[in-house]
Amino acid sequence: MQLWTATRRQAGRDWILPCRPCVLTVSHKTRSLLDLFRPPGPTLDRLTGAFQEDRRVPSSIIATLASAALVFAAGCAGGADKDEDAWQASIETVGSVTTVQTLSGSVWQDTAVLREQASIGAVEGEEVYLMGNVVGVVAHGDRIYVLDEQVPVLRVYDFHGRHVRDIGRKGDGPGEFRNPAGVGVNRDGLIFVHDGSQGRISVFTADDEFVETRRTRPFNTYVPPLTVTHDGIPYIPELMNPGDPIHLWKTAMVGYGPNGPVGDTLAPPEFDYEPPLLPARGERSVSYNTVPFAPRVVWTMTPSRAIVAGVPEDYRFQVRHADRKTTVIEKASWDPVPVLDDEAAWHRRFMIVMNRAVEPGWVWNGPPIPEHKPAYSHLVGDRSRRIWVARPGLGERLEGGTEDARDPRDFWFNPLWRDGLLVDVFEQTGRYLGPVRVPSGIRFSVPQPYIEDDLVIAVVEGEQGVQYVKRYRLVVGTNLTAE
């Protein structure tokens, strides 16, 4: 009989894994090699797909199987279930780093959808339903909190979209806002509003009672957003090297308690990558813009204190967990999305006009616009320990958009082109749950959606650039196995 063997020196022994000739992968639907070695007792947790060392399986075998990254798949004749849609992946562990590469299929074995449950917003009518510039959305209990930078105020709605009350107002006093940049809420209902221009976090109860001000370093940015950890600490982005040139600035997430910073400062890893820049230098200012559609470092923080980051030259990113371990998540097969010729020409005009506002007479001084879009544009960590990967889709030409102009604000506020959006969902452990079909115009940048279990609160840009805040339910098809 022919044998396929994988060996690894572990604790002074070589483990030999026999199988019929085939491609071996990890599948939550197929029989695990661990079962071959398992004595009577508890079985492998098929829900998480994790190797459980405390379930009477020798750790040497676990390490061998994890590093070999091989479990029976459909290629084993007469063996495992031949379900082509099942999640198939390779898993390799070296030291504290585990790499999970999805080869095919998904856990859901279907495409999920966002089913609209309620909508907040209008083109005209009562002021409380007119959205200006929403920079944050969260939910707690049966309430939806919408932070509108333009007003500025934190508006509260019920789950049907009816206005309940406002929290805060414009000003510089306690509980007032000047340029709010993010909002979060903890399990106890405490609400945190970050106003970076004033260097503070304002804390409120769910009943609109001002509690306290937490002083921070002044720095106003929206990405990554304010993130409240599972134990209730608000983390905000802060500038780590203000003395460096602007294109070298680095940010990190800092947690704040009532008496100042708490916990570790969480920063993204260093990547051996420099994004292609288009510098413009004027008499009073300098700007550094990335070449449109060129990859750039993308990162975020999750409520579990994990940092998720990557450079989307390929479909690959890493999760640095709070326990200092790292999970590298990859997709072996993905389709790069082309940049359309007219789309590239418009972005080139936009960039020229924007840089000439800084440096009159500026000419293109960097590499050309790429032929394909990056593998992903945004990473969102939800409150259910999942990672939503937002990928730029095929460009969509918008009716009435600015074709050409002398003022960059015309391009910015009335764009002619918008990326379509493709979304994949992973667990932080690396399991690929599946794709999600999302509505046109939904935002995954500023603000990022609030997601917990099957609840999704997101901003959607409708016709004429009107913003709506919508409540969705995540729905997966009938092929979903028990989760």
Query: Strand locations in 398-477, DSSP E?
Result: 417-427, 432-437, 450-452, 455-461, 467-475
Domain boundaries, the chain: 9-83, 112-475
Beta-bridged to residue 372, according to DSSP, are 338
What's the rounded Cα separation, in Å, for the pair 297 and 317?
Answer: 10
Cβ within 8 Å of residue 302, ≥6 positions away: 227, 308, 381, 382, 385, 387, 428
CA angle 328, 333, 337 (to 5 degrees): 105
CB-based burial of residue 335 (10 Å sphere; 0-12 exposed, 13-18 middle, 19+ buried)? exposed
Residue with tokens 């945190």: 192
pLDDT at 477: 80
pLDDT at 478: 58
Residue 303: cis peptide before it, omega within 30 degrees of 0? no
Would you say 195 and 180 are in contact if contact means Cβ atoms under 8 Å apart? Answer: yes
Tokens of 12: 């002074």
pLDDT tens, residue order, the chain (483 aa): 222 222 232 333 333 333 333 333 444 433 333 333 333 333 333 333 333 333 334 444 434 444 444 343 333 434 445 478 899 999 999 999 999 999 999 999 999 999 999 999 999 999 999 999 999 999 999 999 999 999 999 999 999 999 999 999 999 999 999 999 999 999 999 999 999 999 999 999 988 899 999 999 988 787 889 999 999 999 999 999 999 988 899 999 999 999 999 999 999 999 999 999 999 999 999 999 999 999 999 999 999 999 999 999 999 999 999 999 999 999 999 999 999 999 999 999 999 999 999 999 999 999 999 999 999 999 999 999 999 999 999 999 999 999 999 999 999 989 999 999 999 999 999 999 999 999 999 999 999 999 999 999 999 998 778 999 999 999 998 544 434
Residue with tokens 């932080």: 428
What's the rounded Cα separation, in Å, for the pair 26 and 431?
Answer: 10
Using the Cα atoms of residue 49, residue 317, residue 135 and residue 199 in order, give the sign of their dihedral. positive
pLDDT at 465: 82
Query: What's the CATH class of domain 112-475?
Result: mainly beta
